[in-house]
A = this chain, B = another copy of it.
Amino acid sequence: MTTRQRVLLLGATGETGGSILEGLLAADQYDVEILVRPSSASKQSVKDLVDRGVQLRVFDLCAPQSEITSALSGIDILISAIGPRDLLQQEALVRAAKEAGVKRFIPCAFITIAPPTGAMLLRDEKEEIYNEIKRVELPYTVIDVGFWHQISFPSVPSGRVDYANFGPDATIHGDGDAPNILTDLRDIGRFVARIIADDRTLNQFVYTCGDVLTENEIFGIVEELSGEKIERTFETSQQIEQKVEDAVSDLAQNPDDLTKRMAVWIAQYNHSKYVRKDNRPDYAKYLGYLDARELYPDLVPVSFRDYFLEVLDGKGKRPYMG
């Protein structure tokens, strides 16, 4: 490429979007702008990015399509790391991106490997957007990442890793032997910066991966590195299934209640990961995903082991805490 690609990122102040922004800036090969909704333009987190020299495009995803199309003028690559509650707002963005001639759209995927429909409500909504993309023939890449190291380690009895733990817990789900694709949150952006410059990934599904570990293996690593014996609790497959059923029925009674919706997401993540055992490389391959480790053998992602050493060293950071 002779000219730098102009990348517009939606969701830059979120966890996934933040990782992507860092990855794009570090790659030093893109002109990076961020898409900010009017309601967020005055947020401190946005101002911090402006102070770092990132350019803003402020517009509303609910604006008429022609306005969104104009606002996307000059953008080569559009990356959406929109929040899970707003996924369907991407529909207008897809149509506008097609109109505006965007050369590649990265819809908000960035989750675990799961079937297109029927296993996770969160995935079902993403599929609706993928189908809209295909309907309008917009060039795209879907990037999934498995689960993050940052939310995949158990608590230890001393409590010394709880400062970095999203929900301190030491539960083995099902038999604990389901292999899970894990990516360090910080590596998402490093992978994305490579994937979006790569012709091999155009109109493809790709997954990133730092490690593939079962819960039993994770608990083993954590015990080995911490020197502490974890007091495991156990949740059976039946209990996990029951939690899904309860959460789905709760949501049906309160379809607009975001906390009920989040409860479904969490219950279905556990069901998909530990009962269906979806989040594994061979299922990803079956579903047609390319493996980013094979595409970029020179990109060495952070292993779970190295990540957890950082946590023990006091360098962890609890996600979703700003």
Query: Are B288 and A203 in contact, CB atoms less than 8 angstroms apart?
Result: yes
Query: Are B287 and A134 in contact, CB atoms less than 8 angstroms apart?
Result: yes
* Interface check A119, CB cutoff 8 A: yes
What CA separation (Å) do A137 and B272 show in the bound complex?
A: 13
Please pick, from B115, B116, B137, B286, the residue contacting A286 in the complex, using a CB distance under 8 A: B137
* Interface check A135, CB cutoff 8 A: yes
Chain B residue with the shortest CB-CB distance to A134:
B115
> How many copies of this kind of chain does the complex include?
2
What CA separation (Å) do A137 and B137 show in the bound complex?
A: 27
* Interface check A131, CB cutoff 8 A: yes
* Interface check A322, CB cutoff 8 A: no
Query: Are B131 and A118 in contact, CB atoms less than 8 angstroms apart?
Result: yes
* Interface check A66, CB cutoff 8 A: no
Please pick, from B139, B203, B283, B288, the residue contacting A137 in the complex, using a CB distance under 8 A: B283
User: Which residues of chain B are near A239, meaning CB under 8 Å?
Assistant: none
Please pick, from B115, B137, B203, B288, the residue contacting A131 in the complex, using a CB distance under 8 A: B115
What CA separation (Å) do A64 and B237 show in the bound complex?
A: 25
User: Which residues of chain B are near A286, meaning CB under 8 Å?
Assistant: 134, 137, 139, 203
What CA separation (Å) do A132 and B158 show in the bound complex?
A: 46
Please pick, from B132, B139, B288, the residue contacting A288 in the complex, using a CB distance under 8 A: B288
* Interface check A70, CB cutoff 8 A: no
Chain B residue with the shortest CB-CB distance to A130:
B116
How many chain A residues touch B (CB < 8 A): the figure is 17
User: Which residues of chain B are near A139, meaning CB under 8 Å?
Assistant: 286
User: Contact string, A120-132, partner B, CB cutoff 8 A, digits 1/0?
Assistant: 0000000000011
Min CB gap A38→B, angstroms: 30
Min CB gap A16→B, angstroms: 24
User: Contact string, A280-314, partner B, CB cutoff 8 A, digits 1/0?
Assistant: 00010011100000000000000000000000000
What CA separation (Å) do A297 and B77 show in the bound complex?
A: 37
* Interface check A249, CB cutoff 8 A: no
Which residue among A118, A134, A204 has the maximum number of chain B CB atoms within 10 Å of its CB?
A134
* Interface check A254, CB cutoff 8 A: no
Min CB gap A130→B, angstroms: 8
What CA separation (Å) do A313 and B115 show in the bound complex?
A: 51
List 20 A-B pairs, Cβ < 8 Å. Answer: A115-B131, A115-B134, A115-B135, A116-B131, A116-B134, A117-B131, A117-B135, A118-B131, A118-B132, A118-B135, A119-B135, A134-B286, A134-B287, A137-B283, A137-B286, A139-B286, A203-B286, A203-B288, A204-B288, A288-B288
User: 18 new A-B pairs (CB below 8 Å) besides A116-B131, A117-B131?
Assistant: A115-B131, A115-B134, A115-B135, A116-B134, A117-B135, A118-B131, A118-B132, A118-B135, A119-B135, A134-B286, A134-B287, A137-B283, A137-B286, A139-B286, A203-B286, A203-B288, A204-B288, A288-B288
